[in-house]
Structure 1
Amino acid sequence: MVRNAVRALWAEPRPSQPPVRVWRDWALLGVLVPWSVLDGTLRGDVAWPPVTVTVGVVLALTLLWRRTHPLAAVAVAFGFLIAVDVATIIAAAEPTKPWSTACALLLPYSLFRWGAGREAAIGLVIILAWLPITFTVEPVGSAADVPAGYGFFLFSAALGASIRYHANTRIRDIDQAKLREREQLARELHDTVAHHVSAIAVQAQAGRTLAASHPDRAMAALEIIEEAASRTLDEMRTMVGVLREGEEPDLVPQPGVTDIARLARRTGDWPRVDVELSGDFDDLAPSVGAAIYRLAQESITNAVRHARHATHVDVRVTGDDDCVRLSLRDDGDAGQSGAGRSSGYGLVGMAERA
């Protein structure tokens, strides 16, 4: 378990599109650089004023890259601090770090907020390697100061990791919401357009067959094709209006169970579709009624497209206080019709609605 957690941390990618620099970064730099200069030149207990000023300026500059290059910022800042502390130990001189060194607490936060997993691990090793060296240069007043020093940097890292986790959770929730919307749009598009297009294909085949022997019935098939095409265009315009950014769609009532009979009549005279509704559907939730309507619509479409030699489709909807039952039967042969190869999306959409 621990090994899996370490592997997951090591493989964690960087967050996408971190902010490069904002005005707060430049404001922070405008405060830290003068502070470092004044701290290094005005303090009387500084052994190497130029080094003190340089340390403060370098730390301040690394903050500009703490989001886009967090590991590089940590390596430069704490590598510079390690070099200065080692030189201080060798020269047996007084500590030369300015008070602005406290800004280094921002780097562990940025490392775990914006860095990849391996960058965070490597950067944390660098930071933890610097702490005992700096405690050697500047002895602590009590034994409690050592864990407190580690605690400050670990808290900064934990805060960055926590904010990163919540940001990733929010992004994941947004992506899942978008996926659900796409699935819903795909279902609506398939159920509405596929139904009408299938009816158009069937009536076109019937019209071509009857054109020579029964021109009046062929003309009726053309009228059905015209009506189905018009309805398809209307529903496509409605869907495009909903998807268009900044455009308020018209509030159109969702179809319900009582609309199934009207839906069945749209298939034309062949095959004949009979609908029987029994029960009280007045108290049925609109979302449930719309789902049953779409299920019936897709079922009729499948019967028209894939039931060979079908002449009759029987649709029955029964409802009581506990449930609503939808059943559909046809007298055709199972198999592939001439309407085209099925993609299988309709069955997926029906399962999702059910």
Structure 2
Amino acid sequence: METTRNWLLPLLLATGQGALMWPGVGPDSPPGAPALFAVVAALAVETAALGWRRTAPVRALACTLGAAVLGSLAWPDGYLALGPLIALYSVAVRCPVPVTVRAVAAGVGVEWVLAGVLEGPRAALLSDMAIALGVYLLCAGLGEARRQWLAGRLTAARRLAGAEHTRRLAADQERRRLARELHDVSAHHLTSVVVTVDAAHRLQDSRPDLAAEALSFAERTGTETLTALQRLVGLLRDTDRPDHGPMSGRIEELVAGFGRLGRPVTARIPADLAGPSAEAIHGIVREALTNALRYAPGAACRVLVRRADGRLELTVENAPPRAASQAAGGLGAGRGVAGMRERAAAAGGELTAGPTREGGWRVRATLPDGAVPRRPQEPGWRRDVLREQRLADPALALAAMILPVSFALALTEDWSAAARRAALPALLLVCGLLALHALPLLWRRRAPWTVLGAVLATASLGPAAVTACHVPPRVAEFLVLGTLVETLAVYAVAGYGQGPGRTWPAPAAATLVTACAVTAMSCTDGSVGGEPVGPGGAVLLAFLLAVPLAPVFVAVWGAGLFVRRRRLRALAYDDFALATSMWQADRAAEAERQRLAATLRDAVLEHTRALVAAARRGDLAQVADTARAALAAMREMLHGLGGTAGDGEGPGGRLAPSPAVADLDALCGALRSGGRDVRVRGLAEAARELPPSVQVSVYRIVEAALGAGDLGPARVTLRRRRGTLRITVTGPARRRGPGRRAPAGAGRRG
């Protein structure tokens, strides 16, 4: 289908041009033998170039311009150089604005030079040059409008692909988020209970008073944990995220709570931390201090948060563990550092963790400062975007200005030099009126009704100016050429005006005003065609003009409504698909929340209640055992949140990231280590700024293509050009069993 679309138009143009060369069909003087050979060669080059206009538009334009020069020089009277216009349209559709501007300049320059060679210094040269400029601008404007629409469609497709990717990963992301919440709520509380009770149990002979303090701490902490877990179960039914209130006080309370456990903790925190970054800091500090309590009990800790260049820099550092202390290893879920990194990344920052030279541990995170107001987007960026989006409107407006003027100049070719000199002031006035008439089209999308009113008003000024300046009738009739502007204004009202059902007055008003204006210009001297015309005759003439004009304006208005309806239907489909994907993502996340709530009630909450009951009974050993059992249940639950082993998961049931284009190098390396020669080219360029869903698709396609081939050498080539990624996998086909033949078309390209 794509091949048919590429070659159908070039072949039709070549057929039409070939028909013009048939004796008796085209011009009176068909080309001779040498000229015929040159014209056929030009047609062949033009057809081949236009066949590749979608993949190589700039080269197609260059080839068609060369073919136009060759064909026009060989057969000036009959060769139609339409190929450059089609190629320019393709350039405007598929290339950025600077390339389109240079293409227009190149095309107009070639046309002007060719017109100068063929026409010579004649009066017709200026009109031919103006017509060439107007037609090229019109093609560029239409192509730019098409490019804007395709860019919008591509953006919508990428947004939908991102939503689909989010929908597929919604359950996994919700599991990770809930795992962080559960870990933050229960881990450091239960770990503190285990560490405190174990210390009291070991020192109960020398420090019997510690047992009572440990039981009191276990009861208080277990009650807090039970309350927090019950609150978490209730929040699992709420899909809204918590608001981002001030967090400095909560972070200071957290640090003070660890200080009450007997470890020296110093902190320096700004007083106005707020936003997602502050919440991330709270979770990172809690996890880092919990790890310090678990693996370096009794060691001094330091918490520092400072601002620098609109960023928050967090440092949590603990000294080496004391030699006599006993670390409570094995109590965690094994995802503390990973959880901190995920929390920092979710806030738009990054985190590093590692040992210090002294043997301690240091966690550093850099996060955006939520208290610093973000700067608005630079207005220059918006100006560039709007300038690029509005290129189509200036191009169409200039074409609407130039084409009537150029046709008016072309109609004066048969005049004598004296007549042209005498009519020069009137010609300049008419050209100025035509340019003023088309000027409002610059705002046709932003204010279509205002543009239509301005166009009709300037059309009404024509008869008044003709009468006031005593413009000759044969010059005044050139104002009729500005009717093209009215059609563009009516189309703009139908395509961009508010309330498509209320745009029907536009064609009626355009028909009435245009018919009256043309009639008034024709009757400025009281006669039409040398015959006197009275008021009744003028009304009849206006009615006769309105009869053929009305279907034209109604057809243009209907075309605008049709295009508008198609555009709105496509946008509505995108919105519906996006909303459906987001709804499905919410449902998947809700299912994970309900599953976690049930598991949380059945596992961790029961052990926490038993811990509180044992603390109230004064059973120190039972408190330690129950706290360890609660931690074990939490660990098992956290591992369960990582999913079951399967596709897309790493070792131990942990969810692995989806494969990307950059992972193709590792895939090919694994195949090479297995004895198969596999090479990949164009990886760096192809991996740049691709949506996640597209990257996964590219990886799966290459993986399947390599698996479908034999164990011989294979080559993977990724080529990216103008928003299209071409994947080529070459290699031997898979061997088939005896007596079976490969189907026709089975080859070495995947």
Q: TM-score range by the shorter chain?
A: 0.5 to 0.7
Amino acid at match of 1:67: R
Alignment of 1:34-49 (within 5 A): 34-40=402-408, 43=412, 48-49=426-427
The one of 435, 440, 458 equivalent to 1:62 is 440
2:557 is the counterpart of 1:157: yes
Say if 1:19 and 1:68, in contact at 8 Å, map to a contact too: no
Amino acid at match of 1:112: A
The one of 488, 496, 503 equivalent to 1:106 is 488
Instruction: Work out the CA distance in 2 between the residues paired with 1:106 and 1:39.
Output: 18
**1:93: how far off?**
6.7
Identical residues among aligned pairs (%)? 15
**1:79: how far off?**
0.8
Instruction: Work out the CA distance in 1 between the residues paired with 2:634 and 2:503.
Output: 64
The one of 454, 459, 462 equivalent to 1:81 is 459
Alignment of 1:332-347 (within 5 A): none
Distance 1:32-1:131 versus aligned 2 partners, 3 A rule = closer
Say if 1:204 and 1:225, in contact at 8 Å, map to a contact too: yes
Instruction: Work out the CA distance in 2 between the residues paired with 1:123 and 1:238.
Output: 60
DSSP-derived class of the 2:692 partner: coil
**1:218: how far off?**
5.8
Structure 1 window deviating more from structure 2 (46-55 vs 59-68): it is: 46-55
2:543 is the counterpart of 1:134: no
DSSP-derived class of the 2:546 partner: helix
TM-score, L = length of structure 2:
0.27
Amino acid at match of 1:83: L
Number of the residue aligned with 1:223: 632
Number of the residue aligned with 2:182: none
Amino acid at match of 2:593: V
Instruction: Work out the CA distance in 1 between the residues paired with 2:553 and 2:657.
Output: 53
Say if 1:200 and 1:224, in contact at 8 Å, map to a contact too: no
Instruction: Work out the CA distance in 2 between the residues paired with 1:23 and 1:160.
Output: 20
Distance 1:169-1:33 versus aligned 2 partners, 3 A rule = closer
Instruction: Work out the CA distance in 2 between the residues paired with 1:19 and 1:113.
Output: 19
Structure 1 window deviating more from structure 2 (148-157 vs 216-225): it is: 216-225
Number of the residue aligned with 1:246: 692
What whole-Å deviation, never above 9, does each CA across 1:207-260 have from its counterpart, x for those lacking one? 122222766566444323222223335599969969x94255699xxxxxxxxx
Distance 1:208-1:25 versus aligned 2 partners, 3 A rule = closer
Amino acid at match of 2:632: E
Instruction: Work out the CA distance in 1 between the residues paired with 2:427 and 2:636.
Output: 88
DSSP-derived class of the 2:446 partner: coil
**1:81: how far off?**
0.3
Amino acid at match of 1:146: A
Say if 2:480 and 2:518, in contact at 8 Å, map to a contact too: no
Say if 1:113 and 1:164, in contact at 8 Å, map to a contact too: yes
Distance 1:148-1:196 versus aligned 2 partners, 3 A rule = same
Say if 2:511 and 2:549, in contact at 8 Å, map to a contact too: no
What whole-Å deviation, never above 9, does each CA across 1:53-86 have from its counterpart, x for those lacking one? 1222123322222112212221111111022235
Distance 1:234-1:59 versus aligned 2 partners, 3 A rule = farther
**1:136: how far off?**
2.8
Amino acid at match of 1:229: L
Say if 2:449 and 2:493, in contact at 8 Å, map to a contact too: yes
Instruction: Work out the CA distance in 1 between the residues paired with 2:471 and 2:402.
Output: 28
Distance 1:30-1:164 versus aligned 2 partners, 3 A rule = closer
Say if 1:56 and 1:98, in contact at 8 Å, map to a contact too: no
Structure 1 window deviating more from structure 2 (93-102 vs 119-128): it is: 119-128
Say if 1:197 and 1:228, in contact at 8 Å, map to a contact too: no
**1:135: how far off?**
5.2
TM-score, L = length of structure 1:
0.53
Number of the residue aligned with 1:318: none
The one of 603, 623, 629 equivalent to 1:203 is 603
Distance 1:59-1:238 versus aligned 2 partners, 3 A rule = farther
DSSP-derived class of the 1:189 partner: helix
Structure 1 window deviating more from structure 2 (227-236 vs 152-161): it is: 227-236
Amino acid at match of 1:154: V
Say if 1:39 and 1:98, in contact at 8 Å, map to a contact too: no
Amino acid at match of 2:636: E
2:553 is the counterpart of 1:175: no
Distance 1:167-1:195 versus aligned 2 partners, 3 A rule = same
Instruction: Work out the CA distance in 2 between the residues paired with 1:170 and 1:83.
Output: 41
Distance 1:187-1:79 versus aligned 2 partners, 3 A rule = same
Between the two proteins, the alignment pairs up a number of residues equal to 234
DSSP-derived class of the 2:549 partner: helix
Unaligned runs of 5+ residues in structure 2 are 1-151, 153-384, 523-537, 660-689, 700-750
Say if 1:74 and 1:107, in contact at 8 Å, map to a contact too: yes
Alignment of 1:303-314 (within 5 A): none
**1:177: how far off?**
0.8
**1:133: how far off?**
0.8
Of structures 1 and 2, the larger Rg is shown by 2
Say if 2:393 and 2:442, in contact at 8 Å, map to a contact too: yes
Instruction: Work out the CA distance in 2 between the residues paired with 1:77 and 1:164.
Output: 22
2:503 is the counterpart of 1:120: yes
**1:89: how far off?**
7.3
Instruction: Work out the CA distance in 1 between the residues paired with 2:386 and 2:555.
Output: 23
Instruction: Work out the CA distance in 2 between the residues paired with 1:38 and 1:245.
Output: 48
Instruction: Work out the CA distance in 1 between the residues paired with 2:392 and 2:572.
Output: 28
The one of 618, 628, 641 equivalent to 1:232 is 641
Structure 1 window deviating more from structure 2 (203-212 vs 166-175): it is: 203-212
Instruction: Work out the CA distance in 2 between the residues paired with 1:154 and 1:123.
Output: 9
**1:22: how far off?**
4.6
**1:106: how far off?**
1.2
DSSP-derived class of the 1:116 partner: coil
Instruction: Work out the CA distance in 2 between the residues paired with 1:100 and 1:128.
Output: 13
Distance 1:145-1:70 versus aligned 2 partners, 3 A rule = same
Distance 1:53-1:84 versus aligned 2 partners, 3 A rule = same
Structure 1 window deviating more from structure 2 (97-106 vs 216-225): it is: 216-225
Say if 2:462 and 2:517, in contact at 8 Å, map to a contact too: no
Instruction: Work out the CA distance in 2 between the residues paired with 1:234 and 1:167.
Output: 43
Instruction: Work out the CA distance in 1 between the residues paired with 2:455 and 2:519.
Output: 18
Distance 1:238-1:135 versus aligned 2 partners, 3 A rule = farther
DSSP-derived class of the 2:445 partner: coil
Say if 2:451 and 2:489, in contact at 8 Å, map to a contact too: yes
Say if 1:69 and 1:115, in contact at 8 Å, map to a contact too: yes
Say if 1:67 and 1:114, in contact at 8 Å, map to a contact too: yes
CA RMSD in angstroms comes to 4.3
Instruction: Work out the CA distance in 1 between the residues paired with 2:489 and 2:655.
Output: 51
Alignment of 1:88-103 (within 5 A): 94=473, 95-96=476-477, 97-103=479-485
Distance 1:36-1:111 versus aligned 2 partners, 3 A rule = same
Amino acid at match of 1:182: M
**1:147: how far off?**
2.6
